[in-house]
Amino acid sequence: MLARSALRSVSNARAFSSSASRQTKVAVLGAGGGIGQPLSLLLKTNPLVTELSLYDIRGAPGVAADVSHVDTHSEVTGYPADKLDEALDGVKVVVIPAGVPRKPGMTRDDLFNTNASIVRDLASAVGRVAPEAHILVISNPVNSTVPIVAATLEKLGVYDPKRVFGVTTLDVVRAARFLGGIADVNPSEAVVPVVGGHSGPTIVPLLSQTAKGKGITGEVYDKLVHRIQFGGDEVVKAKDGAGSATLSMAYAGAKFTDALLRALNGEKGVTTPTFVKSPLFADQGIDFFSSLVELGPNGVEKIHPLGSLSASEEKLLEACLPELKKNIEKGKAFVA
Ligand code: NAI
């Protein structure tokens, strides 16, 4: 999707200008970081973005000046640390990759102490300045930062669960890539619904629901599931202290943003996993969950149930739920 939209932006610039009445201002908060920079670049190539607002406590004006020279139609502005409200003025979509990444040996939960307050403060500013904006949370631990955003907006009286998303797309991207490798097919033919949350055992790939994945069993299955759940660790280890996934995450973040923008612009049938306020396990006290979600002009349109699971997937889900519940409660408690 991303490649297609990037191509469209270059070759159909004129065609697009006739429909440029759809004004979509997108903000990236944390735009100076490892994810923020390539994400900003990819969003600059998306023809559905008409204005790009780049904010960071460090370096956003420089990133904006650089990205603004790319020959697509959108306007790019960078904002320094003290200009958060200006950066958010009139935005329709806010993507948040602000915060610290993991180092070797760390879990995503280890980031909580630093990132919880960063995300809370940014969400609070969005709630104040752009209460109608859709908020896409990349900052980890996503299982906790999404409930933090929700609770912060709730306190301000502006929470709409249809407009708050945890970006779990990297798990979906990895699953397709890894399964594609095993099945020796293009990843586009190996798309896997990945449900649950976004950390180790809370990541539940539903391989049985895909043509290429359902025959995989035994050790190959176990290794594939482990790789999907802990693929992030491969990157953290290889970067050796210099951070976690940034480029593949920027790709995934841009892919999810593109999906949402297409849906906001009226495209039907845009369905992708994302971590949202969900009724699926609410009776067990787990009120945020990632499953296939159809996106629409108002954000979340329809939350799909999980469908039928294999015995192995039932077990994965059993391991996911208590951990996810803990992560969600930790996020809520932080704001309360
Ligand atoms: P980074 O350290 O390279 O960049 C983070 C940026 O956030 C920095 O430029 C920093 O100045 C900025 N920042 C810090 N406090 C801020 C504030 N209050 N307002 C605005 N900007 C602020 O980190 P990286 O690698 O870009 O990762 C960012 C986050 O994304 C981390 O929490 C990481 O764990 C998470 N992540 C999430 C993934 C997912 O699948 N959802 C995948 C990979 C990383």
The pair phi, psi for residue 32, each rounded to 5°, is -85, -5
For the annotated catalytic residues, the residue numbers are 198
Collapsing DSSP to helix, strand or coil, 46 comes out as coil
**Residue 167 Cβ contacting ligand 1 at under 6 Å:** yes
Distance CA 23, CA 246 (A): 28
Annotation: CATH topology of 1-330: L-2-Hydroxyisocaproate Dehydrogenase; Chain A, domain 2 (3.90.110)
Distance CA 302, CA 294 (A): 5
Do 207 and 332 form a contact (C-beta atoms < 8 A)? Answer: no
Residue nearest to atom 2 of ligand 1 (CA): 100
**Residues in the chain, pLDDT under 70:** 1-21
**Residue 272 Cβ contacting ligand 1 at under 6 Å:** no
Handedness of CA 209, 224, 165, 290 (dihedral sign): positive
Distance CA 272, CA 311 (A): 24
**Residue 47 Cα to ligand 1 middle (Å):** 25
> Residue holding tokens 């759809």?
22
Collapsing DSSP to helix, strand or coil, 291 comes out as strand
Distance CA 122, CA 124 (A): 5
Q: What is the pLDDT of residues 237-274, one digit of tens each?
A: 999 999 999 999 999 999 999 999 999 999 999 999 99
Distance CA 140, CA 143 (A): 8
Ligand 1 atom closest to the Cα of residue 31 is: 9
**Residue 36 Cβ contacting ligand 1 at under 6 Å:** yes
Q: Is 35 annotated as a binding residue?
A: yes
Residue nearest to atom 39 of ligand 1 (CA): 138
Q: Is 174 annotated as a binding residue?
A: yes
**Residue 97 Cβ contacting ligand 1 at under 6 Å:** yes
> What pLDDT does 2 receive?
47
Instruction: State the complex-level ipTM.
Output: 0.99
Cα–Cα separations (whole angstroms), residue 170 to 50, 56, 117, 173, 273: 25, 23, 24, 5, 10
Two structure tokens written together for 190: 């190996």
